[in-house]
Amino acid sequence: MKSCIYAILGLAFIYLSGCGTSYKLLKTKQEDGFRLSDYPTFGFYEIEASGDTISKNFETNVSIIKDAVARNLQAKGLDEARDANLKVNIALSVEEKEQTRQTDFRTEGLPRYMGQRRYSWKSEEVVVGKYREGTLMIDLVDAANNKMVWQGGASGIIPAKSGNFEDVVNQAVSEIIGKIPK
């Protein structure tokens, strides 16, 4: 009976540890004396992107990020306006990465016979998976003097499933904006 309880607790621990976030928050920067309550309105800078690196979901993903930022800033008492006191700049960086492993003769089999009694085996890096890693930075800029007053962000692995993407973005943006001093 005791071993059954330990097994259930072990499985619960594994399940809960898998539910952790797939990103880390980056260190925030702010100007001395910056308070969000000094700015009644916010607006977004235009996002410009070009080239063949833009994914087919780029516009959709940007709108998900903008909606999350707007929702969180409105929850802090700001109103969205065209001629805003506080401008929001969203910076995105996405890299395609490969997960590799080193081959090993103990697990990959014996060395191959190359002729004339020469046996040879070389260790290689083998690609075992591909993933995308991204960084999201949110800059708040005082529109009156065009000076950045606060910056925060998150970096991590982008979920492959688009349904998870929106959830992760909403959670990350909420945590980032939660660090803004009132």
Q: How far apart (Å, rounded) are the C-alpha atoms in residues 112 and 118?
A: 9
Q: Are 91 and 137 in contact (CB under 8 A)?
A: yes
| Cα–Cα distance measured from residue 121 to residue 109, given in angstroms and rounded to the nearest whole number | 10
Full-model pTM? 0.74
d(CA 93, CA 135): 5
d(C-alpha 109, C-alpha 103), whole Å = 10
Q: Per residue in 22-65, pLDDT tens?
A: 889 999 999 999 999 999 999 999 887 766 556 777 888 899 99
CATH code: domain 22-101+128-178 is 3.30.160.670
**Which residue stretches of the chain have pLDDT < 50?**
1-19
Residue 103: its pLDDT value, please?
77
Q: What is the mean pLDDT of the chain?
A: 81
* Residue of 135, 137, 150, 136 lying closest to 180 (CA atoms): 150
